[in-house]
């Protein structure tokens, strides 16, 4: 039996269900249940909250979330091999764990959860950034979730919390800092996982702000910053040409020099540019 519940240790679960890690699914499993309980606590007070977990795998973090008092957990896992292991956890926590065997990109979690909702996950590297951008760019704000507690490669985590002017500053920093307060709350070495990945990892906690720091349409802002940082060495008037033929006028109108590069421009100015583009389309 484990330290946090009456279920078997994760090593035994993996052996029993023959869950040899698949690289194609980004499988690096956390085996230490004290660590997964700690990550669950980093998500804040879970009592009275529903939690969405993406990629539960053999269920280490799922067990942490349930042991830390989550009202209900919805766990979406692509690998069918993991479902019997997850069913054992559901049996141990009657009525509190719903599992879906599917791709997180295709499931609408709101059909299964009620507010307040928190999201917590050790994300698969192949869909982690896409999911984060989706959660940050819904048309309406506040979003359906209160906070995100997400494990990423450390380099991605650093890009989310990066300061303007730094090398890591880019689309992720802008979108995250526009509508949330992101902080790195835990760093983990490769040995914390099985199999160990080649890189360090970090947990980022993002709390949704009640309103975005500056007004802007999420679709337009996302398009502008994606184009600007895709060609980050270029002057903005060339990097953003694809966004609008009148880009130079828009840049001038909001006080950004067309010869500047993306990393020299702050969040407030990018939001002003997005508003100018939205209000005066070409
Ligand atoms: N949460 C477990 C843990 O911490 O030990 C496993 C984390 S592992 C890094 C990522 C998990 O996401 C794997 O179980 C993998 O099968 C699953 N996964 C990969 N792509 C997915 C997708 N598109 N939708 C849902 N789950 C996915």
pLDDT in tens, 250-280: 999 999 999 999 999 999 999 999 999 999 8
Confidence of residue 192 (pLDDT cuts 50, 70, 90): very high
Q: What is the pLDDT of residue 260?
A: 96
Query: How far away, in angstroms, is 150 Cα from ligand 1 center?
Result: 12
| Residue carrying structure tokens 């980050």 | 232
Average pLDDT on 60-78 reads 98
Whether 274 contacts 212, CB under 8 Å? no
Confidence of residue 125 (pLDDT cuts 50, 70, 90): confident
Residue 248 has pLDDT above 80, yes or no: yes
Confidence of residue 2 (pLDDT cuts 50, 70, 90): confident
Closest residue by CA, ligand 1 atom 12: 55
Atom of ligand 1 nearest to the CA of 10: 5
Which comes out higher in pLDDT, residue 105 or 282? Answer: 105
Question: What does the alpha-carbon distance between residue 12 and residue 165 come to, in Å, rounded to a whole number?
Answer: 48
Whether 212 contacts 141, CB under 8 Å? yes
Whether 100 contacts 79, CB under 8 Å? no
Closest residue by CA, ligand 1 atom 23: 103
| Residue carrying structure tokens 């890591």 | 168
Neighbours of 210 (CB within 10 A): 7
For residue 258, what are the CA distances in angstroms to 47, 165, 246?
A: 50, 17, 11
The residue among 114, 57, 112 whose CA lies nearest residue 89 is: 57
Average pLDDT on 237-257 reads 97
Atom of ligand 1 nearest to the CA of 193: 5
Average pLDDT on 176-201 reads 98
Query: How far away, in angstroms, is 36 Cα from ligand 1 center?
Result: 14
């Amino acid at each position: 039996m484990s330290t946090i519940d009456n279920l078997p240790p994760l090593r035994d679960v993996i052996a029993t269900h023959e869950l040899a890690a698949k690289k194609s699914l980004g499988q690096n499993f956390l085996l230490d249940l004290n660590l997964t309980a700690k990550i669950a606590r980093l998500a804040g007070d879970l009592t009275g909250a529903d939690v969405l977990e993406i990629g539960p795998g053999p269920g280490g973090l799922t067990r942490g979330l349930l042991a830390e008092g989550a009202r209900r957990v919805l766990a979406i896992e692509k690998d069918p091999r993991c479902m019997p292991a997850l069913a054992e956890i559901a049996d141990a926590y009657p009525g509190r764990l719903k599992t879906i065997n599917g791709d997180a990109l295709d499931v609408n979690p709101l059909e299964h959860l009620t507010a307040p909702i928190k999201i917590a996950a050790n994300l698969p590297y192949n869909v982690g950034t896409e999911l984060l951008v989706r959660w940050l760019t819904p048309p309406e704000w506040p979003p359906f979730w209160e906070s995100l507690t997400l494990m990423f490669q450390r380099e991605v985590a650093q890009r989310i919390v990066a300061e303007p002017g730094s090398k890591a500053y880019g689309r992720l920093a802008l979108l995250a800092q526009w509508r949330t307060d992101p902080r790195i709350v835990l760093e983990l070495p490769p040995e914390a996982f099985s199999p160990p990945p080649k890189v360090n990892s970090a947990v980022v906690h993002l709390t949704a702000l009640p309103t975005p720091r500056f007004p802007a349409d999420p679709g337009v802002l996302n398009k502008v910053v994606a184009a600007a940082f895709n060609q980050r060495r270029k002057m903005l008037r060339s990097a953003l040409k694809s966004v609008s033929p009148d880009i130079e006028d828009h840049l001038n109108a909001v006080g950004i020099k067309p010869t500047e590069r993306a990393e020299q421009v702050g969040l407030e100015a990018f939001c002003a540019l997005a508003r100018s583009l939205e209000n005066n389309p070409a």
